[in-house]
Structure 1
Amino acid sequence: MKKYKSAKESQVSITELMLPSHSNFGGKVHGGHILNLMDQIAFACASKHSQAYCVTASVNRVDFLQPVEVGELLTLKASINYTGNTSMVVGVRVEAENVTTGVVKHCNSSYFTMVAKGDNGKNLKVPGLIIKDKQALRRFARSIERKMAMFQRDTKFDDKNFKVEDYLGQLKKENIKLALD
């Protein structure tokens, strides 16, 4: 196995026609179906990069920007944005194309943290990422920032660190009725 790989070596994309069976009660493609496809392509990309079975550790922020219509072609593109020791951040972009007009719309982008696993179920070391341009460096740096922000957010709200008085002022503006013991 290579010690380092470029993102291009493991990029994958899929295109699928959105069928009525994919729709929700509102007649749009169900977000859960899109998330399932996103997870599948993140798995494929991470597995291709690591040459190992991978599992989803977390998904960072999923914003549905545009609805996807039945009859549109949904294209998902995945690329490795960051590599840690045993984990990878896979950037996934989702676009829908109207087949009759050719109009393409960006529907979603998200970041999946995937972990490589060995046959014994233990985490496996993954190849590092070769950064070839400013865009790839920006994506790598952004993944580091997201990772640090998540850690800070998690520790800030840990039972030992959380201070009610720090938030009482903010809560006055929210749709909440406090009834603390």
Structure 2
Amino acid sequence: MVDMVFPEQANHHGTLFGGAALSMMDKLAFLVATRATRRPMVTACSGQIDFRSPVAQGRLVELAGEVVRRGTRSVDVEVRVIAEDLATGERHDSLGGRFTLVAVGGERARPNAVELASPGPEGIGPVSSMVEMVFPGHTNHFGTLFGGQALAWLGKAAFVAAARHARMPVVMAASERIDFHAPVLEGEIVDLAARVLRVGNSSMSVEVIMHAEELLTGQRRLCTRGRFTMVALGYDGRPVPVPQPAEPTC
């Protein structure tokens, strides 16, 4: 899971607020535990939280989690947080911790078949992935994900993919096309995959594909696909050249 440290998540020192960091880690632990058990899970406790180094505002944070213990009704999930400087690519192991989650409610749901999207165009470089949970505050009066919130998540994923390619500040210059294929329901998660498709002189075309996943069944469906033009800026605020894709070698 990937996220960005924005000003509202930073303390007066300009670094990631400890409570915001714990919230990110707990969300990932919940997703890992629910995907592993396909049962409703709640956090019972957290421990061994180790704040190794501060994470500055503007850094990207990449969270990784794995189940390290399975009980009859509970699982322990280890979570690590890696901070990345988007300008240099430098990465630091910043936080770690263990969360115990307990299953509540009835029996495990039976997984359904997984619906996958058709593959998108071949891109340049690695895919940047993000996961978000759809809470009541993200939905409209129909109980489905508000379109503006979906666009915000798509834009953030496009920003991460473009900034990782350029290793410099980027801004959105245009939204080329957005297709909403299916609604996303409250309580589902959205899985976003972003990849740079083309590189110009100072601009990049980024495609973002968003799937919805029903956590208790594992069923996935394509919900939204968007394409964005992102432009790299120098520290004077003007467009600057971005690295071109490497030529294939024979």
Aligned-pair identity in percent equals: 35
Separation (CA, whole Å) in 2 of partners of 1:120 and 1:61: 29
What is the match of residue 161 of structure 2?
45
Aligned partner (choices 98, 112, 129) of residue 214 of structure 2: 98
Tell me, yes or no, if structure 1 residue 54 matches structure 2 residue 170: yes
Structure 1 length-normalised TM: 0.67
Structure 1 segments of 4+ aligned residues over 3 angstroms from their partners: none
Matched, 1:17 2:130: no
- Mapped to 2, the partners of 1:33 and 1:124 lie a distance apart of 30
Equivalent residue, structure 2, for 1:32: 148
SS in 2 for 1:62: strand
Q: Report whether the alignment pairs 1:126 with 2:232.
A: no
Of 99, 109, 116, which aligns to 2:232?
116
Partner amino acid for 2:167?
Q
181, 185, 197: which one aligns with 1:69: 185
* Aligned-partner Cα distance in 2 for 1:62–1:131: 31
5+ long unaligned stretches in structure 2:
1-87, 89-122
Given that residues 12 and 78 in structure 1 are in contact (C-alpha distance below 8 angstroms), is that contact kept between their aligned partners in structure 2? yes
1:140 is aligned to none
Q: Is the contact between residue 177 and residue 228 of structure 2 (CA under 8 Å) also seen in structure 1?
A: no
State the Cα deviation string for residues 118-141 of structure 1 (Å, max 9, x = none): 000111101112477xxxxxxxxx
Query: Which residue matches 1:83?
Result: 199
- CA RMSD across the alignment: 1.6
Question: Does 1 or 2 have the higher relative contact order (CA < 8 Å, sep 6+)?
Answer: 1
Deviation at 1:44, TM superposition (A): 0.8
Is contact 1:79–1:90 with CA below 8 Å preserved after alignment?
yes
Higher normalized helix content (fraction of residues): 1
Give the structure with the higher percent strand: 2
- Gapped regions of structure 1 (runs ≥ 5): 133-181
Q: Which amino acid aligns with 1:66?
A: A
Using the size of structure 2 for normalisation, the TM-score is 0.49
Residue in 1 that maps onto 2:124: 7
Give the conservation status (yes or no) of the 8 Å contact 2:134–2:186: yes
SS at match of 1:100: coil
Question: Equivalents in 1 of 2:246, 2:209: separation in Å?
Answer: 21
Shift of 1:7: 2.3
User: 1:175 matched to which residue of 2?
Assistant: none
